[in-house]
Amino acid sequence: MNGISAIRLGMHDLRRQPREAAMTPTFDIVFALYPRITQLDFTGPFEVLARLPGSRCILASVDGGDLPADHGMKFAGLTPLDQVPGCDLLCVPGGFGTVEAIEDARYLAAIRRLGLQARYVTSVCTGSLLLAAAGLLRGKRAACHWAWRDRLAEFGVTPDAARVVRDGNVFTGGGVTAGIDMAFEVMAEVAGRDHAELVQLAIEYAPAPPFDSGRPELAREPVLRVALERMDAMRARRDAAIRRAAEAAIEACAAGS
């Protein structure tokens, strides 16, 4: 049993009705992962989207096999991206590994190939920068983590401060936890509001944070200052990688026109 099978078998399945399941076409969902992802960026949406009727979730990465996430967590049994022929929905999560992934030509080529033929293209947190680097967001509006959002403009993307942004068939979520909200918006689009509300009730998704500090405009000044100082430690390396990726994306666009 591979890693994805083990996860799904351990999940309460709202669709466990044999006659309906037999009649439901599959809805293939690819989570395109890379080293040092923030695991909640995809496990949050996974918990929701795996409950879509007919869902078949695939965890994939450039090389497949085992993948390290942030904070010591690892995921096993991933599928190589080049072995995934296509999907109905592509989800690209964020994380500090974005800095390396945004210059990984194989990763960008894979998500571009999948995204161009998917019914829905989605991202969480800094995943929108990866979609942009792959040429999938040019001319669109998109969300991103608040500390990285302004960098979307380098790819011809309009940064949007909303928690979830939809532009055509593209759904992008802000930082980390916004991925859950994004997934529910997609679920309502695909399976209807009633199904989305049923799943929300089943997983008791009723956020009530103990502190009103989830956005920079809400955080207390001392808290925001420390957060910005921590971001500054990687800002130069991050911005240089984004700048190179943006230049490469512009060149690729020009060559293809």
Report pLDDT digits (tens) over 179-209. 999 999 999 999 999 999 999 999 999 999 9
255 pLDDT band (50/70/90 cuts)? Answer: confident
Give the SS3 label for residue 112: helix
Mean of per-residue pLDDT scores for the chain: 91
CATH number, residue 141 = 3.40.50.880
In the chain, how many domains are there? Answer: 1
Its domain, for residue 150, covers 3-256
- Would the pLDDT of 8 be above 70? no
State the catalytic residue, choosing from 57, 125, 144, 253. 125
Known catalytic membership, residue 125:
yes
Query: Residue 170: pLDDT above 70?
Result: yes
Percentage of residues of the chain with pLDDT beyond 90: 85
Q: Give the pLDDT confidence score for residue 11 in this predicted structure.
A: 34
Chain segment 72-121, per-residue pLDDT in tens: 899 999 999 999 999 999 999 999 999 999 999 999 999 999 999 999 99
